[in-house]
A and B are shown apart, each in its own frame.
Chain A
Amino acid sequence: QKEVEQNSGPLSVPEGAIASLNCTYSDRVSQSFFWYRQYSGKSPELIMSIYSNGDKEDGRFTAQLNKASQYVSLLIRDSQPSDSATYLCAVRYNQGGKLIFGQGTELSVKP
C-alpha cells in the first residue's frame, strides 16, 4: 500500500473556479504536511505547510488537515491558468526528516 496517495488527474477546472486537491496518508504518526507545486521541467515549490487539524489559509490557497481521517486537502480559489501544474502532497513523520511524496495531481485551469 502506498504511504501517500493522490488522484493523478488530470483535474480540469475553468478559470475563476475552485480547484480541490486531495491526499490521504497511511501512517497515523505523521506530523507535518506540505503541498508543493511543480511546473513541467521545474523543481517543486513549497506553497503550503500545515501541522495541526483544521484549515490554514494563505492568499488564494487553503490547506485542510483531518488527522482522524488521515486526509489533507488543498483548495485553490479563483483558479488562474498560471496555476496549471502538478501539485505534490508530502508527509513527514516524527523521525527521519524525509518527506514522503504522493504521485502528484496534474491541474489544468482552462481560460
Chain B
Amino acid sequence: EAGVTQSPTHLIKTRGQQATLRCSPISGHTSVYWYQQALGLGLQFLLWYDEGEERNRGNFPPRFSGRQFPNYSSELNVNALELEDSALYLCASSRSSYEQYFGPGTRLTVT
C-alpha cells in the first residue's frame, strides 16, 4: 500500500510570496491533516479536511488556507510568507478518526 505523498520536497520562497504545498493521502483515507514542525516549536496542528470540507483549524492566521479535492488529495496555501513560516510542513491521512499516517513532508524555507 502506497503511503502519503507530498510535493515538493523542498520549496524556497522569498518573504511576501505565496507557497502551495500538495498532499495525496493513502488510498481509502478520506481525512487529511496538515501540521507545521518549526524548529523549537514541535508539531503544531494547522488544518483538518474530511470529505472535502474543512473540519477544524489550528491557531494560525487566515493566510494559511487549503482545500481538499474530490479525490481526497489536498493543497495547503500560505500567503504573504513571513520568515517564521520556515518549517517542515507535514501532511497526514486517516480513515475517519483513526490513526494518522504522515507523509515525508515539505521543507519550506522563506528568505
Task: Flag if B33 contacts A98 (CB, 8 Å).
Answer: yes
Task: Flag if A45 contacts B33 (CB, 8 Å).
Answer: no
Give Cα distance in the complex from A97 to B75, angstroms.
18
Chain A stretch 49-82: residues in CB contact (< 8 A) with chain B: 49
Nearest CB in chain B to that of A34: its residue = B99
Taking beta carbons and an 8 Å cutoff, which residues of A are in contact with B? 32, 34, 36, 42-46, 49, 88, 90, 92, 96-104
A100 cross-chain contacts in B, Cβ below 8 A: 45
Q: Tell me whether A98 and B104 are in contact in the complex, defined as CB-CB below 8 angstroms, given that A43-B90, A44-B90, A49-B99 are known contacts.
A: no
Taking beta carbons and an 8 Å cutoff, which residues of B are in contact with A? 31, 33, 35, 42-45, 48, 50, 55-56, 58, 88, 90, 97, 99-105
Of A92, A98, A102, A103, the contact of B58 (CB 8 Å cutoff): A98
Give Cα distance in the complex from A103 to B41, angstroms.
8
Task: Flag if A103 contacts B90 (CB, 8 Å).
Answer: no
